[in-house]
């Protein structure tokens, strides 16, 4: 067997969460593409159509979880890629907080967008 080679620290929780979110995202990203390009063509999307979909509790919850898990997976992935390239010390810390804030802002704005699209709230 090849020697251990990973972008993550052994036993780290970031590795576990990256994999757990990956399992969820594999299904939801494929579903999102199918629904909004094949079932409904992207050029036919209207606000009323979006609102009808986002006003179903299960669809709304799935899309909001999609936002949160994709943001975590993406931002954590970028952080790990940079650490892998040799980012250390205070620059590593600065990048960690910047990415954390960027991810948080994305979730906040994504939540605003989700709420604007639904009649549930």
Partner 1 sequence: MSQSYNRGTVEDFGRWREFTAGMWAWIFHKFTGWVLVGYLFTHIAVLSTSVGVDPASAQAGSDLYTSTLSGLESLLIVRFLEVGLLAVAVFHILNGIRLLMVDLGVGLESQDKSFYASLLLTGAIVIASVPTFLGGKLA
CA distances from 89 to 7, 12, 92, 93 (A): 17, 18, 5, 7
CB of 93 to partner 1, least distance (A): 20
CB of 90 to partner 1, least distance (A): 21
Q: How far is C-alpha 16 from the geometric centre of its chain's CA atoms? A: 15
> What is the contact mask toward partner 1 in residues 16 to 45, using x (rule: CB under 8 A)?
---x--xx-xx--xx--x---xx--xxxxx
In the complex with partner 1, the residue whose CB is nearer, 45 or 61, is: 45
Give the Cα separation of 64 and 100 in Å (integer).
18
**Selected binder of partner 1 within 35, 98, 101, 113 (CB under 8 A):** 113
Block residue for tokens 């780290």: 12
Block residue for tokens 């620059």: 91
Asked if 65 and 111 count as a contact pair (C-beta separation under 8 A), the reply is no
Interaction between residue 71 and partner 1 (CB under 8 A): yes
**Selected binder of partner 1 within 10, 11, 13, 46 (CB under 8 A):** 46
Asked if 106 and 71 count as a contact pair (C-beta separation under 8 A), the reply is yes
| Interface ranges with partner 1 (CB under 8 A) | 1-3, 19, 22-23, 25-26, 29-30, 33, 37-38, 41-48, 50-51, 67, 70-71, 74-75, 77-78, 81, 84-86, 102, 106, 109-110, 112-113, 116-117
């Amino acid at each position: 067997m090849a020697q251990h080679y990973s972008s993550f620290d052994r036993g780290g929780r970031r590795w576990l969460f990256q994999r757990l979110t990956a399992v969820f995202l594999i299904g939801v990203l494929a579903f999102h593409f199918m629904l909004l390009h094949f079932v409904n063509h992207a050029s036919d999307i209207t606000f009323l159509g979006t609102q009808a979909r986002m006003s179903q509790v299960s669809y709304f919850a799935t899309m909001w979880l999609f936002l949160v898990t994709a943001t975590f997976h993406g931002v954590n992935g970028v952080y790990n890629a940079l650490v892998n390239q040799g980012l250390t010390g205070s620059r590593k810390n600065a990048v960690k907080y910047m990415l954390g804030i960027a991810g948080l802002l994305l979730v906040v704005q994504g939540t605003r967008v989700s709420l604007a699209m639904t009649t549930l709230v």
